[in-house]
Structure formats: structure tokens, C-alpha cells
Chain A
Amino acid sequence: MKQNEDILGNCPDAEKIFRVPDGYFESFAKLMDEKTAETDTKQHGRMVLANWWKPVSVAASIAAAIVCTSLYINEKHEEELMLTIEHETLYSQLEDLEIIDYLASEED
């Protein structure tokens, strides 16, 4: 009981209670050196990819915009063409008499 009450009385040396593998701190600096170099290589790889990807994505966006615009224009043109053909077909189907009647009614 007395021992328990005094447990905080004498601070234990944490480094004696908790141990580390032999030479841990000496090898840790070397390990970190390798890890940071590895990180740099990865970051460099990402930068190279980003540098390559940026112009490609810009070019692809421009190409996509051009394709969309030309598709839209083509579609409009086709619609207009279809309308003209439809009108011409409609007119060609009118009887001569119907035209004469129409013109006569206009004159009245």
C-alpha cells in the first residue's frame, strides 16, 4: 500500500523502463534520409506527370470544344436543310387549281 502511495514520489527513468533496439537512433537518421529521398522521387514523378498532363488536357479540352461546336453547327444546318426540303415537297404537292384559287382570293 505504502509503495502504491509513493508511486509518483520517485520519477522513474522512462528510458530504462522503455527500451529501443540497439543502434535505433543512429540508424533512424539514415532511414529518414532514404525516406525523404523516396518522397522527393515520388513528388518529382507527380510533377513530371502534372507537367505532361497539363498541356495534354488543355489541348483535349480545346479539341472537345471544337468538336462540340461543329456538331452543333452541323445539326442546325441539317435542321434548316430538312425544313427547306419539307417546304419544297409541300409546294410540289399542291394542285394547279388550288394555286389559282389562292391567287384569285388574294386579288379579291
Chain B
Amino acid sequence: MHKLREEDLFDALRDPKRRSEAFGVVVKTHSKQLYWLIRKMVLSHDDANDVLQNTFLKAWRGLDNFRGDSKISTWLHHIAINETLSFLSSSEAKNKSDLSLEDSMVQNLASDEYFSGDELQLKLQRAILSLPPKQRLVFNMKYFEGRKYEEMEEILGTSVGALKASYHHAVKKIKDFILNEN
């Protein structure tokens, strides 16, 4: 079932008898890419794992509403991005510490057993966290994942021009942040 074409996979997802197996293929195919997109936004593995699980559960429950107007991966990216942004805004609301959510995230990252970056990488993450969540998403997709603007346009629903501007502003902000921090 791994070699199914997109259309066949879509048909299998619509068929109650084959749905479960087809969804297993979808999970296997897309979980890694979605995980890294989420992880670079939430930073902690545990949070990324929770958001990824919610993403697939939402997709599973919403299978009947998926009409196949977009690619399965685009649809999953939409859900993952919405889940990630909701997670970040609810974490912000729940944050009762004196530190801002971003500062807490960097502090937790420094002691995270699943983070092996050096001081410079920690500084880069701090700079990335200074960006608004949506701009951070654009930066991560372009910088770390090297995605094409056209692909990002499809996923984020923002024009290529706006994405380019957003990315260049993000790069400038990050450079300024790092230089001003010293």
C-alpha cells in the first residue's frame, strides 16, 4: 500500500474498509516532515509529539470533510500549522512564570536532553523566537527546510511576494537581534 498514488490513497481514505490502513500509510509518509516543522516551532520534543498526535487525530476525525481539493500533504500541513499556532497561543495564556513564553522556551531548550546545539545555536534559537509566530514559521520553512516559496504559498495561503518580504525581514531581525545581544 506504500506505493499508492495520491488519487488511490485518497480513494482508500474514503473507503471505510480500507481507511484505517490508508491512514497508516499517510502517517508513515508525513509524520517526519510534520514533526520537524512543529518541533522547530515549539522546540521541545514532548510538546512536538503532543501537537503531532493532535494533528493526525484531527485529520482522522476530519477525513469525511476532506474533499481532495488540495494534496494530502497540504491538508495535513494546514492542520499541523493550526495546531502549532493554537498550542503556542494557549501556552502563552497559561504561562504564569515571570519570564515570557519565548524566554521560558529558550531556558527549557538549554536543559533539554534532546537538544545538542552549542551556545551559538541557542543564540540563534533565541533570535528566531523573537519573531512573531507566523514569521517564525516562514523563516523555519525557508531557512531550515529550504522549501520553495511556491510550495509555502500553497501551504500558508500567502502570496510569494509577501513570503519573500516576510523572510527577508525575518533574516534582518535575526541578524540585528544577534548583533545587539553582544
Binding site for B on A (CB under 8 A): 1, 3-5, 7-8, 11-12, 14-21, 24-25, 28-29, 31-33, 35-37, 39, 43
Q: Report whether over half of chain B's contact residues are helix, strand or loop; otherwise say mixed.
A: helix
Asked whether A11 lies within 8 Å of B144 as measured between CB atoms, the reply is yes
Residue of A17, A21, A31 with most partner-chain B CB within 10 A: A17
Asked whether A19 lies within 8 Å of B114 as measured between CB atoms, the reply is yes
Given A5-B175, A21-B45, verify A16-B116 contact (CB < 8 Å): yes
Given A19-B116, A29-B28, verify A36-B144 contact (CB < 8 Å): no
The listed residue (B24, B28, B124) touching A7 by CB distance below 8 A is: B124
Asked whether B115 lies within 8 Å of A39 as measured between CB atoms, the reply is no
Q: Compute how far the CA of A33 lies from the CA of B20 in the bound complex, rounded to whole angstroms.
A: 8
Chain A contacts of B35 at CB under 8 A?
A: 20, 25, 28
Q: Report whether over half of chain A's contact residues are helix, strand or loop; otherwise say mixed.
A: helix
Given A5-B179, A19-B116, A21-B45, verify A14-B27 contact (CB < 8 Å): no
The listed residue (B20, B120, B171, B174) touching A36 by CB distance below 8 A is: B20
Excluding A16-B116, A29-B28, 12 further A-B contacts by CB distance (< 8 Å) are A7-B127, A12-B121, A14-B40, A14-B144, A21-B45, A29-B27, A29-B31, A32-B27, A33-B24, A35-B53, A37-B20, A39-B57
Q: Compute how far the CA of A24 lies from the CA of B45 in the bound complex, rounded to whole angstroms.
A: 10
Chain B contacts of A35 at CB under 8 A?
A: 53, 56-57
Given A12-B121, A17-B121, verify A25-B32 contact (CB < 8 Å): yes
Asked whether B120 lies within 8 Å of A3 as measured between CB atoms, the reply is yes
A-B residue pairs in contact (CB < 8 Å), sample of 28: A5-B175, A8-B143, A8-B174, A11-B146, A14-B36, A14-B144, A17-B117, A17-B121, A18-B117, A19-B45, A19-B115, A24-B49, A25-B31, A25-B32, A28-B27, A28-B49, A28-B52, A29-B27, A29-B31, A32-B24, A32-B27, A35-B53, A35-B56, A35-B57, A36-B56, A36-B57, A36-B60, A37-B20
